[in-house]
Structure 1
Amino acid sequence: MQPGSLHSLGRRPVPAPPAARRRPSGRTAAYPGRPLFGAALCYLFALGLTCLFFLFTRVGQWLDGLLLPRAERGGGYQQQTALVGPAKTVLAHFGNPLLLAALLGAVLLVALLRRRPVAGVVAVGLVLCAVAVAGAAKSVLPRPDLQVESSTTHNSFPSGHVVAATALLLAFMLVLPGWARRWLAVPGAVGVSVVASATMIAGWHRFSDALGGVLLGVALFCLAAAALEHRRVGGGPCGGIEPHGAAGPSGEIEPRGGSFGGRVPGGLVEAALGLVVLVWVLLAVGPGLTESVDRGPLIAIVAVTGSTMLAVGSAVLLLGAGEGSRGRPDVRK
């Protein structure tokens, strides 16, 4: 035994410290909902541009009238098509307060079954807030008379029906597990598109109103999801977006589902498959729509459907990628 060794002094070897748990990076720890919050700002900016262009410019008002021409000077926007009856039926059923209450109750029930009551309350609040904001905007925003023959000064921006449909779909996304969201995203977006198309065919709303309703619903969803993420990572009570991750062999947190960059390609593949389904549906119903609807309304329906698919798909992709990229917050000081 050499002089100066620990054993010669009667001391025990100092054990190596346990592997430290991996903490989120500085930006992720400080701003856990940063991607979702950034997306919300982008959608709000797009909503503002849509409002400014279609309400306050001659070109925007003219384009709204070109896509959905009025029946006559001073008349309404109801289209001359056999689809008016089915469109009004869709709007009557979706506007039924009992149906809306049942859907909101289903959101709360799913949240309670998954032991995420806070997420359920936030999801219901998302829908109520979206409808309230849409109603306030229609009351406050003016629609100036710019001497456009195909336009009126009546403001209907954004559509309350489309906002409610978008917010309801995304409310379920807040409380459902990831695998269920994939099954609901495409048919749910198609359902929102049907409601939006019905409002235009029945003459209740212009194209800009339907587009604004989708943008407002997705923007509020991103804000709600970012708030839930901040609450969860910030150490609040359970009920936020569900944590993903487990302790690995080294004691570090290993996220389930891989990193953000690893999940994005998979999400893009799912989005591409959704677009393929959408194109197939359009090809299947396209001949009937072409025969029943004029070119302007048909372009408006296709544009709203594509915008809905892209907006809902990107929001769900951000939510899923954020869950897959994070680990549990470090509670050790």
Structure 2
Amino acid sequence: MTIGSSYPVGRSTPGPPPARPRPPAGAAVTSGLRLLAAALGGLLALALTAAVFVRTYPGQWLDGLLLPRAERGGGYEQQTVLVGPAKAVLAGFGSPSLLVALLGAVLLVGVLRRRLVAGVVGVGMVVGAVVAAGALKSALPRPDLQIESSTTHNSFPSGHVAAATALLLAFMLVLPGWARRFLAVPGAAGVSVIASATMIAGWHRFSDVLGGVLLGVVLFCLAAAALTGLRGDRDVDAGPDGGSLWRRLGEMAVSLAALVWALVVVVPSLAASVQRGALVAIVAAGATTMFLVGSVVFLVRSADFVVPLRADRAGRPSPTDHQKIS
């Protein structure tokens, strides 16, 4: 009923709730399948690395060629002034208090960014990397193939490198998309420093480092696929056109500048301090780490790992809506 007006008097009839934007129907499935495919590819690469470098003559020979000073117990400590700093880096990263603080930071960022489930998964991913690396080292036999520069001590894969890679990628689960890209380059550089330190200090061979990075990447892809399946895939960080072209060009320029700086400054300094084989191993490990980290960050560039802890009722009408008087 209306009185001299077109506005209704009395109770209003609630209309349907506003439609909420949803991702395309196959977005979550497609993203999850991509991540599972990447995990499978990484797992195959990990198995192939183990089979070639641990079980075959050419693989053991190549490891010995890159780091030739094999000693009893599997040590490959290099004759360089960098041994002291390398051991200091490893001792610092292996400190339980530092690891607890970093894992706590993952959880804290997850809480602040409403990604608590992703934070818990990230912490589990780091712990799983350490456990898996230890299990593989115990399970994989290293045959004696009569190579002078090799030993039967198996150190594949590196637990330090696997933990460092998994820790970096754990932050990728709790950070928004724009922040992941800015952390990828310095984070990969940090992993490369730890990987180089393990080889300089004689803790691990080149193949061990490669296996550690691959193990961390595999666990990340599996964790990201699981979170994508729980939440769905929403690109909340990019604009309608998928992100600014100039911003992406700027990010590429910064990454390229960092790599050029590494080539111009770091490599000549290393060349004056380490033997040629160790230099090749360090550069190859750093390049592989940069490539793998950059690849998986690009793979999850539009993923939103916000998993609600309870049912989302934002789209449902409130009970008080039916009692409003216009």
CA 1:83 to 1:42, structure 2 compared with 1: closer, same or farther past 3 Å? same
CA contact (8 A) 2:165 2:217 kept: yes
1:164 corresponding residue in structure 2: 163
2:61 and 2:82 map into 1 onto residues whose CA distance is 24
Q: How far off is 1:40 after superposition?
A: 1.0
Asked if 1:257 corresponds to 2:239, the answer is yes
Q: Distance in 2 between matches of 1:41 and 1:303?
A: 23
> 1:289 aligned to 2:270?
yes
**Structure 2 length-normalised TM:** 0.81
> Structure 1 stretches of 5 or more lacking a match?
1-17, 234-240, 246-254, 325-330
**Which residue in 2 is equivalent to 1:108?**
107
2:245 equivalent to 1:274: no
State the partner residue of 1:319: 300
Q: CA deviation at 1:102?
A: 0.3
The 8 Å contact of residues 31 and 230 in structure 1, kept in 2 or not, is answered as no
Count of aligned pairs between the two proteins: 290
> Aligned to 1:33, what secondary structure does the other structure show?
helix
State the Cα deviation string for residues 294-316 of structure 1 (Å, max 9, x = none).
00000000000000000000111
Structure 2: how far apart are the matches of 1:108 and 1:152?
Answer: 41
**SS of match in other structure, 2:153:** coil
Instruction: Report the counterpart of residue 12 of structure 2 in structure 1.
Output: none
Q: Secondary structure of the equivalent of 2:114? A: coil
Distance, in Å, in 1 between the alignment partners of 2:265 and 2:170 is 29
Structure 2 unmatched ranges of 5 or more: 1-17, 306-314, 317-326
User: 1:19 offset after TM fit, Å?
Assistant: 9.6
1:310 equivalent in structure 2: 291
Change in Cα spacing, 1:41 to 1:264, as seen in structure 2 (3 Å) is farther
Amino acid corresponding to residue 113 of structure 1 in structure 2 = L
Q: Quote the offset at 1:73 in angstroms.
A: 7.9
Aligned to 2:95: 96
- Structure 1 CA distance for aligned equivalents of residues 183 and 117 of structure 2: 22
Relative contact order, higher structure (CA 8 A, sep 6+): 2
Q: 1:181 and 2:162 equivalent?
A: no
* Alpha carbons of structure 1 residues 38 and 268: separation in structure 2 relative to 1, 3 Å: farther
2:109/2:175 contact within 8 Å kept: yes
Q: State the alpha-carbon separation in 1 of the partners of residues 214 and 246 from structure 2.
A: 24
Structure 2 Cα separation of the partners of residues 264 and 224 of structure 1: 30
Q: Which residue does the alignment assign to 2:225?
A: 226
**Corresponding position of 2:125:** 126
Which secondary structure state, in structure 2, belongs to the residue aligned with residue 179 of structure 1? helix
Superposed displacement of residue 274, structure 1: 1.7
Match of 1:244 among 229, 232, 235: 235
| Contact 2:28 2:229 (8 Å CA) reproduced | no
- The reply to whether residue 298 of structure 1 matches residue 298 of structure 2 is no
Q: For the structure 1 residues 323 and 265, does the alpha-carbon distance in structure 2 shift closer, same or farther, using more than 3 Å as the test?
A: farther
- Alpha-carbon distance, 1:199 to partner: 0.2
Q: TM-score normalized by structure 1?
A: 0.79
